[in-house]
């Protein structure tokens, strides 16, 4: 296994120490394994909390800051955070007006966030949950009942985060988060597998001349294996899957993310974005806003995910609102 780590068992605490050293604007609690903003948000602000297994960086810790999350709780690599940890993040994020949990749809995450929400409720904290299930590749998967949650998490956290920053109530923030998820679809293609530090070897085998169509962010199987194809064929496959599930009409406005899964060079992501842009342009669909880079990764996997959100005026306005996090800043 070729990784820059010390002990496979200490990857998360070691990385959290680095995150703390690099970002004085964050507060990293190494004992509870939660990441919060160093400064206290405005009194009365609805708290936004997300979390899930590590290995998807910058998700979620890299999205803590003004305009996005108040707290993140990273589990071990590809492992859900535990309920007490999620509860600690929830308590840290609560300013007396409730907390919204943004939860990617994986069975362990859903269960543990729900337990934490019940524990928080027992402490008098109102918790609303936004379940993200944007990946159109498969219905049900290795660790999921229903669709997997992937790239739309970034859109939900950015847009609902901006609404929360503006002083909206907990039900309103959650409702918008759910609308963003409902308006978003993702599809991913992998060229290689990924290797967790604990396993020390690739999570699945993928021949040198094949790619996994519809892969999950933990290497879960997609729809099928295919022979390697050109970038424009890959984009056509992904956009077909997305648009047949959520048709878009000419003049619709979108936010589009072309996201690297960790091992894909940025030059390829831009090349892929160019294909997405020309395809959507050909259909008269407007890309109003975009992101190109590594936002929801799968360790060292070479691959790409494409996420499209059909955005209304409110979503676009909130997308443009200021954000100050390690991974997203404007």
304 sits near a second copy (criterion: CB under 8 A): yes
**Nearest-approach distance from CB 76 to a second copy, in angstroms:** 11
Give the three-class secondary structure for 155.
Answer: helix
Q: Return the ∠ at Cα 48 (arms to 47 and 54), rounded to 5°.
A: 140
Strand intervals (E) in the chain: 26-29, 34-37, 47-54, 71-77, 99-104, 127-132, 184-190, 210-213, 224-227, 253-260, 286-293, 303-310
26 sits near a second copy (criterion: CB under 8 A): no
Phi, psi of 238 (to 5 degrees): -65, -45
Q: Which of residues 189-208 bind a second copy (CB under 8 A)?
A: 191-192, 208
Site string for a second copy, 264-303 (x = CB under 8 A): xxxxxxxxxxxx-xx--------x--x-x-x--x-xx-x-
- Kindly give, in sequence order, each residue whose CB lies less than 8 Å from that of residue 9, ignoring residues fewer than 6 positions away: 198
Give the count of beta carbons closer than 10 Å to the beta carbon of residue 31.
7
Give the three-class secondary structure for 329.
Answer: strand
60 noted as active-site residue: no
Q: Of the candidates 77, 67, 305, which has an alpha carbon nearest to the alpha carbon of residue 165?
A: 67
307 sits near a second copy (criterion: CB under 8 A): no
β partners of residue 201:
none
Q: Please answer whether residues 73 and 51 qualify as being in contact, where contact means their C-beta atoms are separated by less than 8 angstroms.
A: yes
Give the three-class secondary structure for 11.
Answer: helix
Nearer to a second copy, 78 or 106 (CB): 78
79 sits near a second copy (criterion: CB under 8 A): no
Instruction: Using the rule CB under 8 A, give the single segment among 88-96, 108-116, 257-265, 306-314 that binds a second copy.
Output: 257-265
Q: In the sheet where 303-310 sits, what is the strand order? A: 224-227, 210-213, 184-190, 303-310, 253-260, 286-293
Nearer to a second copy, 3 or 283 (CB): 3
Nearer to a second copy, 99 or 276 (CB): 276
23, 60, 101, 218: the catalytic one is 218
23 noted as active-site residue: no
Q: Alpha-carbon dihedral of residues 274, 176, 329, 298, nearest 10 degrees?
A: -60
21 sits near a second copy (criterion: CB under 8 A): yes
Q: Classify burial at 279, counting beta carbons within 10 Å of its beta carbon; exposed 0-12, middle 13-18, buried 19 or more.
A: middle
**Nearest-approach distance from CB 272 to a second copy, in angstroms:** 5
Instruction: Using the rule CB under 8 A, give the single segment among 128-136, 142-150, 162-170, 258-266 that binds a second copy.
Output: 258-266
41 sits near a second copy (criterion: CB under 8 A): no
2 sits near a second copy (criterion: CB under 8 A): yes
CA distances to 53, 141, 151, 187 from 145, rounded to whole Å, are 17, 7, 18, 17
242 sits near a second copy (criterion: CB under 8 A): no
Nearer to a second copy, 112 or 237 (CB): 237
Contacting a second copy (CB under 8 A), which of 47, 51, 62, 222?
Answer: 62
Instruction: Using the rule CB under 8 A, give the single segment among 53-61, 115-123, 144-152, 162-170 that binds a second copy.
Output: 53-61
**Nearest-approach distance from CB 201 to a second copy, in angstroms:** 11
Q: Which of residues 86-145 bind a second copy (CB under 8 A)?
A: none
Q: Name the residues annotated as catalytic.
A: 56, 218
Query: Would you tell me which residues interact with a second copy (CB under 8 A)?
Result: 2-7, 11, 14-22, 54-55, 57-58, 62, 77, 191-192, 208, 211, 228, 230-232, 234, 258, 262-275, 277-278, 287, 290, 292, 294, 297, 299-300, 302, 304, 329-330
């Amino acid at each position: 296994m070729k990784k820059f780590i010390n002990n496979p068992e200490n990857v998360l605490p070691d990385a959290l120490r680095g995150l703390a050293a690099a970002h004085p604007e964050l507060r990293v609690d190494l004992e509870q394994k939660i990441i919060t903003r160093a400064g206290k948000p405005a009194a009365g602000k609805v708290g936004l909390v997300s979390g899930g297994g590590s290995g998807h960086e910058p998700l979620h810790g890299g999205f803590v800051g003004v305009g996005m999350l108040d707290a993140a709780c990273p589990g071990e690599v590809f492992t859900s955070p535990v309920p007490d940890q999620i509860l600690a993040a929830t308590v840290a994020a609560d300013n007396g007006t409730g907390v919204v949990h943004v939860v990617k749809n994986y069975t362990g995450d859903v269960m543990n966030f729900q337990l934490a929400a019940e524990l928080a409720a027992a402490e008098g904290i109102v918790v609303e949950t936004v379940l993200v299930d944007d990946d159109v590749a498969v219905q049900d998967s290795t660790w999921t009942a229903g669709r997997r949650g992937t790239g739309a998490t970034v859109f939900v956290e950015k847009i609902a985060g901006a609404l929360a920053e503006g002083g909206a109530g907990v039900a309103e923030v959650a409702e918008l988060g759910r609308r963003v998820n409902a308006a978003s679809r993702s599809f991913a293609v992998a060229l290689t597998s990924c290797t967790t530090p604990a396993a020390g070897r690739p999570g699945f085998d993928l021949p040198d001349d094949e790619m996994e169509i519809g892969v999950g962010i933990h290497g879960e199987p997609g729809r099928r294996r295919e022979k390697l194809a050109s970038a424009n064929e890959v984009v056509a496959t992904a956009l077909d899957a997305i648009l047949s599930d959520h048709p878009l009409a000419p003049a619709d406005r979108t936010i589009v993310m072309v996201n690297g899964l960790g091992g894909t060079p940025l030059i390829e992501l831009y090349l892929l974005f160019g294909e997405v842009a020309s395809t959507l342009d050909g259909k008269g669909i407007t890309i109003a806003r975009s992101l190109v880079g590594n936002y929801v990764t799968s360790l060292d996997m070479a691959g790409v995910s494409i996420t499209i959100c059909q955005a209304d005026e409110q979503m676009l306005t909130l997308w443009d609102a200021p954000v100050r996090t390690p991974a997203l800043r404007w």
